[in-house]
Amino acid sequence: MIRTLREGYKDEALFVTYKDVIVPTADLWDHVGRENVGIITFGDAHKYVSHKCSIERNEIVENGWKGEFNVLKTPIGSLNEKKLHNPLLGSTAIREHYVKDIKDFEILQYYLNDLTVEPNLTRKPGESDSREHVMLTPSEAEALTGDDGLVMYVTDRTPFQQTWISWCELLDFAIYIAEEPDIVEPVLQRMGDLLLMAAEVAAEYARNNEVHLVSIPDNITAPVIGRANFEKYCLPYYEKIVAMFKPLGIRVFVHIDGDFKPLWSLIGKSGIGGIDSFSPTPANDTSIEDAVGMWPDMVLIANFPSPIHLSDEDTIYKTAIHLLEEGHKHGRMWMGLTENVPPDRWRQSIPPIIRAIGDYNAGLSKK
């Protein structure tokens, strides 16, 4: 994995997945062999600390689904959100966002202004920061990963993406930013400032420790953000964060998991060194051949197309071979499982993907 990042690795294709996110890692190892799976563990070199605000977390059950009802408390008022966990997909979704009215941005602004960014080097058992549950500290992430893969250090989302994913329902946000920019824009600016602080903390950690992967977890899809908003709210931050890590020889990835053809030229301009969770055709609008043709030096963590998991084993195998032939020849692609798969299908679909990678590698070794 390290060799792919540094110089390309044309004599062996790799299969990678996030540790205990899409599929329980131990179950995946038992099913296809530990030696066949590279692991990416999320770690966090920074944490947010609130001084006058807090989040009260309450476990709930709604229609048989477990979840959380969280209350953000500030001296000028409170906001609340509701999250539910989907047991079929193994993922959590926000059902009610914190911001439900334009007036709520005042409370959110107060909260964001109250935050400071600190190194996430130690924490007490069960401790979380004031906004979200703290991800693993670097030492915890490295210990869990061991020799099975690499730690991916995440920053935070850029302002536009962060707002509609974490704070405000998308349609409401679109109305608010169009009709009340004087209220919304200062909030987005503060989010951007915090993002850059978080990235600088991560860069400082990387100056003194071994770091190979850094990612901005933006979950980009062009139909949602559009070209103009991407250029305004994402591109400047990508460029600044890339500049922080380039002197350290570390690639900055962005999580781009949807359609993004309208953004091709801007992504090329950004200077990022990789796309995390790249979801190629037929799932979305950009093929691996497109990507390697435009960005031959970029590392692609390519998700095996989710719809193909429902196909028969022969189709899955042939699709995997096709994707490997499109992308691995440039030596900077990992085949991955980074997006949700149809429930109960991974046990049938992953083995032919692993078999395809093994056969592909055997062919490479004969050349």
Contact 131, 191 (CB under 8 A): no
* Peptide bond between residue 282 and the one before it cis (omega within 30 degrees of 0): yes
Give the dihedral of Cα atoms 160, 127, 151, 156; nearest 10 deg: 10
Provide DSSP, 52-100: S-EEEEEEEEETTEEEEEEEEEETTEEEEEEEEEETTTTEEEEEE-SB-
Per-residue confidence (pLDDT) for residue 125, from 0 to 100: 52
CA distance 321 to 359: 9
- What does the longest C-alpha to C-alpha distance in the chain come to? 69
Per-residue confidence (pLDDT) for residue 88, from 0 to 100: 74
- Least confident span in 114-128, 150-164, 254-268: 114-128
Confidence of residue 10 (pLDDT cuts 50, 70, 90): low
Q: H or E stretch including 48?
A: strand 46-50
Q: Which two tokens stand for residue 345?
A: 């299908």
Contact 283, 305 (CB under 8 A): yes
Contact 360, 37 (CB under 8 A): no
Average pLDDT over residues 182-200: 98
Per DSSP bridges, beta strands 251-256 and 213-220 are parallel
pLDDT higher than threshold 90 for residue 79? yes
CA distance 209 to 18: 22
Confidence of residue 129 (pLDDT cuts 50, 70, 90): low
pLDDT higher than threshold 60 for residue 73? yes
- Least confident span in 307-311, 336-340, 351-355: 336-340
User: Can you give the pTM of this predicted structure?
Assistant: 0.94
Confidence of residue 342 (pLDDT cuts 50, 70, 90): confident
Per-residue confidence (pLDDT) for residue 126, from 0 to 100: 52
CA–centroid distance for 215 within its chain = 7
Cα of first residue to Cα of last residue in the chain, in angstroms, is 22
Pick 2-49+116-365's CATH classification: 2.40.10.330, 3.90.650.10, 3.20.20.210, 3.40.220.10: 3.20.20.210
Share of the chain above pLDDT 90, in %: 82
Compute the mean pLDDT over every residue in the chain, rounded to the nearest whole number. Answer: 92
pLDDT higher than threshold 80 for residue 6? no
Residues 14-26 have pLDDT tens digits of 999 999 988 899 9
Q: Which is nearest to 48 in space by CA: 114, 96, 102?
A: 114
pLDDT higher than threshold 60 for residue 130? no
pLDDT higher than threshold 80 for residue 317? yes
Give the dihedral of Cα atoms 144, 150, 153, 157; nearest 10 deg: -110
Decide: helix, strand or coil at residue 18: strand
Residues 91-123 have pLDDT tens digits of 888 999 999 999 999 999 999 999 999 999 886
Average pLDDT over residues 277-292: 95
pLDDT higher than threshold 80 for residue 134? no
